[in-house]
Amino acid sequence: MTIEVSLGASAEAAQEVKERLVAEGVPAALTAGDPALWGPDAEAEASIRLGWLNLHETSRELLPRLTELAERVRAGGIDTIVLAGMGGSSLAPEVICATADVPLTVLDTTDPHQVRRALGPGDGSADVLRRTLVVVASKSGTTIETDSHRRIYEKAFENAGLDPAEHIVVVTDPGSPLHRLAEESRYEVVLADPNVGGRYSALSAFGLVPSALAGADVARLLDEAAQVRPLLAQNEGNPGLELGALLGAEALRGRDKLILRDEPSEITSLPDWIEQLIAESTGKDGKGILPVVGADAAEASDQYQVTIGPEAGAFVDGPLGAQFLVWEYATAIAGRVIGIDPFNQPNVAESKENTARLLKEAGDGPLPTGRPILVDGPVEVYGDVPGHPKDLADVLTWLLKSLPPQGYLAIMAYLDREAAFDAAAVGEASFEETAEAWAAADIATLRGLLDHRTDRPVTFGWGPRFLHSTGQYHKGGPQNGVFLQITGAVTDDIEVPGKPYTLGRLQLAQALGDLRALTSRGRPAVRLHLTDRVAGVRHVLSAAKEL
Ligand SMILES: O=P(O)(O)OC[C@H]1O[C@H](O)[C@H](O)[C@@H](O)[C@@H]1O
């Protein structure tokens, strides 16, 4: 089965853009790997970023090794695959494994409570660790979260009397600092294609290694991509061109909020991967397309909806391997239409630098959190909120009122994204009861509650995961975002071996660093700090319900 793209009510607008792209010879030029398609400023970067167009062929050479590796790992009694990787180094495997229904633990967080769930109690349970293989995945080999996870796991394996070399597999680019370290440590290394950027790497070693180890059929993904690939050079019947023309045409006429719907289909959670691809590729130079995951399309002139799976209106229906390639192609096309370089991420570094500076300046002392402007039960409020708010509800109301006509609200939660598991594990409860208990304990429920109170789109991101995704758009895209950051007290912190910070301290520094970047742009931004996480989540949700 190949892929079907339907443009729904937007077909006419897309047609005009498509005709222009065809007249300019773009489909053939893109599939031939022409790096000049995004203008002279983008050419140098593009010339080393188009390898994703051929991964359906070039990644095939990985398959025998992956089969052998997966067998060896299983024969060694390992049944738990943990993936330490941020953004493009984990989002695709998460979707691949969810779709294949094989378990994969993704560590794309600095939340100590969430990392503790993977490690097991204490400094890691020997029982859990014996059965665990950690895939340390980083293209640059320098990402601070992934480096921290590697250090934590190395120490945990050693403490448990296990040889880290038997429990760690590294995926990185040739010559990266992580490559060198892995060789010194005798880790198994799978090198990735350096001509593929992180968010375009779903079908490279970054997508395939952890997924194959977790038990997914990755050869099938390459077959699915190979089926659609010949269509991408065509002027007609080209799903990537259709979708790219749609994304570009909508953005040009001011419809720059893309509501991504995930209807029940054979694919699970693809919008979470598309979100990074589109937000980080297009959100720059004051332009961009904002993907909104999990929302219903509002009747607003700047929003439109695309569904994964067959549905009324605009949709993309087809197997996962083909979806990856078609969305990548469409994003590259949309980048040309909008007039940005879809392969760089110029504003991501800023928050990272702020975080490093905050940690350095604070030394052994406390991080500069400032003083709360009010305390409402288990929730402290930080930020410049005018008009002397008296409680949390007033603060949320002010944030919603601050939304400009074309704006959006971004909720950014630096918390344990699995915390709601604890509340939902209620013995013999029915599916409905469990789902209800989950929603009542999950801070992500806030997105829907605030969405009901505004016609502006509301996004939700787990920090620091989103910093490697929508974080680029927030800082580099149209400056009309309003930001609600949520942090929480840490009761069970984890040392990062060889570093002067703990995970909890790093997480808070990341939140403060990003807040600094957002407020320096004059954007309205508030931080809620939950002094008791469970009670705090309940309190925030109940305040939002009463607005
Ligand atoms: O794979 P890494 O080098 O560790 O990078 C992981 C992620 O980090 C950065 O912040 C980039 O903005 C992302 O595009 C990338 O996917």
Dihedral angle at the C-alpha atoms of 392, 541, 304, 248, nearest 10 degrees? Answer: 70
In a domain, 318, yes or no: yes
268 C-beta closer than 6 A to ligand 1: no
Whether residue 158 sits in one domain with residue 85: yes
What's the DSSP call for residue 290?
Answer: E
198 C-beta closer than 6 A to ligand 1: yes
Write the pLDDT tens digit of every residue in 259-284. Answer: 999 888 899 999 999 999 999 999 99
In a domain, 33, yes or no: no
The mean predicted confidence, pLDDT, of the chain is 96
In a domain, 193, yes or no: yes
Over range 110-116, report the average pLDDT: 97
| Residue of 83, 89, 149 to test ligand 1 pocket, by largest number of atoms within 8 Å of CB | 89
Whether residue 472 sits in one domain with residue 397: yes
Percent of all residues in the chain with a pLDDT value above 90, rounded to a whole number: 92
Looking at residue 273, its pLDDT comes to 98
In this prediction the pTM is 0.97
**In angstroms, rounded to a whole number, what is the distance separating the alpha carbons of residues 477 and 463?**
19
Residue 192 has a CB neighbour count (10 Å cut-off) of 27
Looking at residue 425, its pLDDT comes to 67
Over range 236-260, report the average pLDDT: 97
Q: Assign residue 127 the CATH number of its domain.
A: 3.40.50.10490
Whether residue 409 sits in one domain with residue 541: yes
Q: Report the nearest atom of ligand 1 relative to the CA of 345.
A: 12
Whether residue 377 sits in one domain with residue 273: no
Over range 108-130, report the average pLDDT: 90
Give residue 128 CA to ligand 1 midpoint distance, Å.
28
Q: Which residues pair with 316 in a beta bridge?
A: 5, 308
Looking at residue 426, its pLDDT comes to 61
| Residue where a domain terminates, one of 291, 318, 338 | 338
Cis peptide before 464 (omega within 30 of 0): yes
Residue nearest to atom 8 of ligand 1 (CA): 468
Write the pLDDT tens digit of every residue in 12-53. Answer: 999 999 999 999 999 999 999 999 999 999 999 999 999 999
Whether residue 205 sits in one domain with residue 258: no
In a domain, 238, yes or no: no
37 C-beta closer than 6 A to ligand 1: no
Answer whether 507's CB lies under 8 Å from 464's CB. Answer: yes
In a domain, 34, yes or no: no
In a domain, 42, yes or no: no
Whether residue 479 sits in one domain with residue 422: yes
199 C-beta closer than 6 A to ligand 1: yes
| Residue where a domain terminates, one of 292, 318, 338 | 338
Answer whether 151's CB lies under 8 Å from 134's CB. Answer: no
Whether residue 372 sits in one domain with residue 470: yes
Over range 348-359, report the average pLDDT: 94
**Position 371 confidence tier, pLDDT thresholds 50, 70, 90:** very high
- The answer on pLDDT for 428 being more than 80 is no
Number of domain units in the chain = 3
Q: Assign residue 538 the CATH number of its domain.
A: 3.40.50
Q: Which residues pair with 529 in a beta bridge?
A: 380, 487
Q: Residue ranges of the alpha helices (H) in 314-375?
A: 320-338, 348-362
Write the pLDDT tens digit of every residue in 284-334. Answer: 999 999 999 988 877 789 999 999 998 889 999 999 999 999 999 999 999
280 C-beta closer than 6 A to ligand 1: yes
| Residue where a domain terminates, one of 290, 313, 338 | 338
- The answer on pLDDT for 120 being more than 90 is no
In a domain, 185, yes or no: yes
Whether residue 361 sits in one domain with residue 218: no
Q: In one letter, which amino acid is 275?
A: E
In a domain, 41, yes or no: no
Over range 384-408, report the average pLDDT: 97
Q: Report the nearest atom of ligand 1 relative to the CA of 91.
A: 16
Whether residue 275 sits in one domain with residue 151: no
- Kindly provide the residue ranges of all beta strands, DSSP E only, lying in 481-540, ordered along the sequence: 481-488, 525-530
Over range 351-363, report the average pLDDT: 95
348 C-beta closer than 6 A to ligand 1: yes
Whether residue 467 sits in one domain with residue 386: yes
Residue nearest to atom 16 of ligand 1 (CA): 88
CA distances from residue 261 to 87, 212, 268, 306, 524 in whole angstroms, order as listed? 20, 27, 11, 6, 28
Whether residue 260 sits in one domain with residue 134: no
Whether residue 21 sits in one domain with residue 61: no
Over range 537-545, report the average pLDDT: 98
Domain membership of residue 306 as a residue range: 4-25+245-338
